[in-house]
Amino acid sequence: MRIIRTAGALLLLVLCFSLSVNAKKTVYVIDITKEIDNTTRLYLINGLHEAQTIGADAVLLHLNTYGGLLDAADSMRTAVLYSPVPVYVFIDNNAASAGALISIACKAIYMRKGASIGAASVVNQTGEILPDKYQSYMRSMMRATAEAQGKDTVVHGTDTVYKWRRDPLIAEAMVDERTVVPLLSDSGKVLTLTANEAVRWGYCDGIAETAAEVITQYIGYSDYDQKQYTPSLFDNLKGFLMNPALQSILILIIIGGIYFELQTPGMGFPSAAAVGAAVLYFAPLYMDGLAQNWEILVFIAGLILIMLEVFVIPGFGVAGIAGIVCIVAGLTMSLLDNVYFDFEGVTDADTGRAALTVLLGLGGGFFLMLWLSHKIGSKGGLFRKVALTTDLEEAVASPVLSGMIGQEGIAATVLRPSGKVLIDGVHYDGVSESGFIEKGEAVRVVRFENAQLYVTLLQRCNRT
């Protein structure tokens, strides 16, 4: 009986081993075949999460890119390095700049014949090389990513040598033309490797023509299920809204809307535009985990302080300045990846990019306000088709308002500087020309323009 039990146990172990060996593997494929930006970052992050959820055995990045945003690439390479599912990359032609950084983070690199990897210097939108401050950060990131792959132990007779699987010096040479790699690269040229050169120097683990060839020949899965990440419309929309250029435009609309709303009585289109732009700015950042509740509350507190400064507190002082600081802080902090004021993982480069995005939006908003102030409603102006261009002084105001110059009344609302005035029992739109005027104070009409009465305090009129 004991012999039968032992034989049964052995048979069960053999059966389990056989099933584990012959079990069909699952490979999850993520296409990164466009510019590296927040959209492709979402593709990778969501794809890795889904691969882990379904229990995939491996992830294969199908990569073909000329590079893109450094912050997005940094986030992507970090996700690859710490992925619990091994990540492989098939370079289908190009892995330049940010693409090289992401590739080096993968467990193994496979390239198509004729493909290339390298040229990872940091450039601006026009392709001009940025100052060494940016290159230094990129050099260290490339070295650290290469070092993360570890070393191999090589035994020669009685000698044991530890050799980098991916030489950090080669990774640095892809950024800095001053880096010399003996027998490979002289100073003066940023390094880019062909597929054959990458194989020779340890930056390519094999050459293949298709992703399927990589899976079967190199990863070793002869029988496998392939799952493909399919981006949703929401992924593309979210990535689009997180584009730095669009974020600057949204900041411009927020600031411009607040400015124009303060210049006109009541609530109208400018406030709606500002609120809509704020929602589009914060919503994708909040859903992505960048913007937190406290950062949004800081922004809202800034808006409240500015409204208090304009509608409640005379003059412009501490509340107004604090409001501006809170708005700028809220917009900037929402772009930084922190947890409850903990900025340990935030680099100077991250802070600089966030501040630059906000400052570009604020600067653009300031100049747009100056330009639109002269263009709205003017003949030949940008909004001539939607603006009222009829001469109100002649068509409406002349018979009624022109005869009111010199008349006296009271401020029906606080004029800061716009509001309502009450003259002979009739309410009119009024604008103060003598600073803030409190409700109930006596005023006198001094002129009219665009269907508005311009008034000053009656006491000040008497003094003059």
143-200 per-position pLDDT tens digit:
999 999 998 877 766 777 788 999 999 999 999 988 889 888 877 789 999 999 999 9
Mean pLDDT of 106-131: 89
CA–CA distances in Å: residue 173 to residues 90, 182, 238, 333:
22, 11, 35, 34
Looking at mean pLDDT, say which of 5-14, 42-51, 158-167, 186-195 comes out highest: 42-51
Strand, coil or helix: 21: helix
Residue 255 has pLDDT above 90, yes or no: no
Confidence (pLDDT) at 66 = 92
Mean pLDDT of 307-330: 70
Residue 122: both structure tokens together:
């940091």
Q: How many helices (H) and strands (E) does the chain have?
A: 17, 15
Phi, psi dihedral angles at 384 (to 5 degrees) = -65, -30
Residue 18 has pLDDT above 70, yes or no: no
| Cis peptide bond N-terminal to 86, omega within 30 | no
pLDDT band at 316 (very low <50, low <70, confident <90, very high): low
Mean pLDDT of 74-84: 93
Strand partners, 454: 431, 447
pLDDT band at 449 (very low <50, low <70, confident <90, very high): confident
Residue 376: both structure tokens together:
């709205």
DSSP state of 203: S
Say how far apart CA 302 and CA 9 lie, in whole Å. 72
Instruction: Please report the sign of the dihedral spanned by the C-alpha atoms of residue 31, residue 35, residue 38, residue 41.
Output: positive
Contacts of 221 (CB under 8 A, 6+ apart): 25, 27, 57, 58, 215
Residue 264 has pLDDT above 70, yes or no: no
Each residue of 290-311: b (16+ CB within 10 Å) or e?
bbbeebbebbebbbebbeebbe
Say how far apart CA 196 and CA 385 lie, in whole Å. 62
What count of other Cβ atoms lies within 10 Å of the Cβ of residue 246?
Answer: 14
Contacts of 285 (CB under 8 A, 6+ apart): 242, 291, 334, 335
Q: Which residue has the higher pLDDT, 71 or 364?
A: 71
pLDDT band at 20 (very low <50, low <70, confident <90, very high): very low
Amino acid at 333: M
* Residue pLDDT, tens place only, 274-303: 778 877 777 776 666 555 566 677 777 777
Confidence (pLDDT) at 415 = 82
pLDDT band at 32 (very low <50, low <70, confident <90, very high): very high
Class in CATH terms, 392-463: mainly beta
Residue 265 has pLDDT above 80, yes or no: no
Looking at mean pLDDT, say which of 62-71, 276-285, 414-423 comes out highest: 62-71
CA–CA distances in Å: residue 181 to residues 189, 245, 368:
11, 38, 50
Say how far apart CA 38 and CA 243 lie, in whole Å. 7
* Residue pLDDT, tens place only, 345-354: 566 666 666 6
Say how far apart CA 141 and CA 365 lie, in whole Å. 35
Phi, psi dihedral angles at 425 (to 5 degrees) = 80, 5
116 sits in which H/E element: strand 116-118
> CA nearest 45: which of 55, 59, 25, 63?
59
Is-contact 334 346, C-beta < 8 A? Answer: no
Domain ranges of the chain: 23-233, 242-375, 392-463
pLDDT band at 382 (very low <50, low <70, confident <90, very high): very low
Residue 176: both structure tokens together:
């800095």
Say how far apart CA 322 and CA 171 lie, in whole Å. 46
Strand partners, 452: 449
Confidence (pLDDT) at 395 = 43
CA angle 25, 30, 35 (to 5 degrees): 165
Is-contact 167 200, C-beta < 8 A? Answer: no
Say how far apart CA 230 and CA 236 lie, in whole Å. 11
Ramachandran area for residue 4 (φ above 0: left; ψ -120 to 50: alpha; else beta): alpha
Confidence (pLDDT) at 394 = 45
Say how far apart CA 375 and CA 398 lie, in whole Å. 24
Strand partners, 62: 31, 90
What is the percent of the chain with per-residue pLDDT over 70, rounded to a whole number? 71
**Neighbour-count burial of 218, counting CB atoms closer than 10 A to its CB (0-12 exposed, 13-18 middle, 19+ buried):** middle
Confidence (pLDDT) at 314 = 57
Say how far apart CA 306 and CA 314 lie, in whole Å. 12
Q: Is there a common fold for 23-233 and 392-463?
A: no
Strand, coil or helix: 262: helix
> CA nearest 93: which of 209, 253, 255, 235?
209
Residue 393 has pLDDT above 50, yes or no: no
**Across all residues in the chain, what is the average pLDDT?**
78
> CA nearest 192: which of 67, 69, 73?
67
- CATH 3.40.50.1100 is right for the domain spanning 23-233: no
Amino acid at 418: S
